[in-house]
Structure 1
Amino acid sequence: MFTGIVQGVAPLHSLEKKPQLHTLGLAIPAAQRDQLTQGASIALNGVCLTVTHWDEDAVYFDVMIASLQLTNLGQLAVGDLVNFERAARFGDEIGGHAMSGHVMGCVTLCQRHELDADNLRLDFSLPPQWKKYIFNKGYIGLNGCSLTIAEVHEERFSVYLIPETRRATTFGLLPEGSQVNLEVDPHTQVIVDSVERVLAQRQLEGV
């Protein structure tokens, strides 16, 4: 499980491409490797990945073809910055919202609005298949960052970023047109899907 509180931004140190697999080497700072073990889970741009090994330069992860096709990890090049968060431990403070690291797909950063020195609004595309889970003041995971949805329109939704979020994540400089990993709030998804199933069953039964 992850909290959606990004612990840092690190550059992609190396990239090995195979036909059905990419091996990513992320230059995670030494201070963030405390008690790191082989097989540990770390979210990269919100995607839960398994540590295969590490050396002085980087921590390494294998990414399967399904994840490469579904997320923005398949678009990464050496030098690109990536949000990372290590898996939560028992007793950790949940500062954002519970996230699984199972990304549903990508949305497009449509527009950046620099409202003033301290406020930035980001507008994202709203895929029809996820619209029922996205609503005003609900939670959403974008590139592994837990954010509150500010506005929802027919084809877009918006979030606002405080200066600390801009500093601590890749969103501060992310250009328009970028593909961003999306994870809807899993609790919202369970509730919406459960209500839909109950209503569908009642309709079949003529209740």
Structure 2
Amino acid sequence: MFTGIVQGMAEVVAIEEKQDFRRHVVRLPQALTGGIELGASIAHNGCCLTVTEVNDDLVAFDLMAETLRLTNLGALQVGDRVNVERAAKFGDEIGGHAMSGHIICQARVEEVLRTPNNCTVWFSLPAEFAKYVLSKGYIGIDGCSLTIGSVEGNRFCVHLIPETLERTIIQFRQPGDAINIEIDPQTQAIVDTVERVLAQRNSFAI
């Protein structure tokens, strides 16, 4: 489980490519290296990955075919940075919302609107997932727990304060970039349940 409060950015320092498989090594901020063991879970751009090797602040992760298909991690190059968050522990403050680290789809950055103290970013996502995106609801964007601003069809925006930009890779995002999306699981469960109940009622009415 994760909270969507990004703890830092990690640089990708090495990549090993194989068929339908990728292994990458990131340099974690020193503040996040304490107590890391093999098998630990660390979110990269919101995607839960398992630690496979530790060498001081250099930590390796394996990415399988499904991860490469669903997320933006397969497009990373050496020198790129990712948002990272270590798994939450019992008793930790949850300043964002409960997140599983399971990416449901990718969205595209459409527009970045900057003012001196604020930033609004518009995204478009596949139409089939738009039903889960509700104004003032929660959403995970590259691992950041954010509140949805406006929704227009399959487009939505978020409003970012300078602190969020400073701590995350969202500061580097440009129109056309692909970002990882995790839908709030409670919202998804409610929408799917309502759809299923309505479908059953309509079948009985026929």
Q: Is the structural similarity TM-score above 0.5?
A: yes
- State the alpha-carbon separation in 2 of the partners of residues 187 and 135 from structure 1: 12
Q: Aligned equivalents of 1:47 and 1:39: distance in 2? A: 15
* Equivalent residues in 2 for 1:49-198, closer than 5 Å: 49-114=49-114, 116-198=115-197
Q: Which residue of 2 aligns with 1:34?
A: 34
Tell me how far apart the structure 2 counterparts of residues 148 and 71 of structure 1 sit (CA, whole Å).
Answer: 21
Bigger Cα displacement from structure 2, 101-110 vs 52-61 = 52-61
Identical-residue share of aligned pairs (%): 51
Q: For residue 56 of structure 1, report the CA deviation from its aligned partner.
A: 3.0
Report the CA distance between 1:148 and its aligned residue: 0.5
In structure 1, the partner of 2:4 is 4
Q: Displacement of 1:126 after TM fit?
A: 2.9
CA contact (8 A) 2:47 2:103 kept: yes
* Greater alpha carbon shift after TM alignment, 43-52 vs 173-182: 173-182
TM-score normalised according to structure 2 size:
0.97
Aligned match of 2:205: 206
Q: Is the 8 A contact 1:126 1:154 kept in 2?
A: no
Distance 1:22 1:128 in 2: 29
What is the letter of the counterpart of residue 173 of structure 1? F
Following TM superposition, by how much is the alpha carbon of 1:199 offset from its aligned partner in structure 2, in angstroms? 1.3
CA shift, 1:30, in A, is: 2.3
5+ unaligned residues in a row in structure 1: which ranges?
none
Q: What displacement does 1:108 show?
A: 0.5
TM-score by length of 1: 0.96
Give me the whole-angstrom Cα distance separating, in 2, the residues matched to 1:199 and 1:150: 28
SS at match of 1:198: helix
In 1, the alpha carbon distance for the partners of 2:38 and 2:198 equals 45
Partners of 2:132 and 2:85 in 1: CA distance: 24
Which residues of structure 2 form unaligned runs of 5+? none
| Superposition deviation, residue 57 in structure 1 | 4.8
Rounded to whole Å, the distance in 2 between the matches of 1:202 and 1:175 is: 45
CA distance in structure 1 between the aligned counterparts of 2:193 and 2:36, rounded to whole angstroms: 38
Aligned-residue RMSD, C-alpha: 1.2
DSSP-derived class of the 1:52 partner = strand
Structure 2 Cα separation of the partners of residues 174 and 128 of structure 1: 22
Residues of 2 paired with 1:126 and 1:192: CA distance? 17
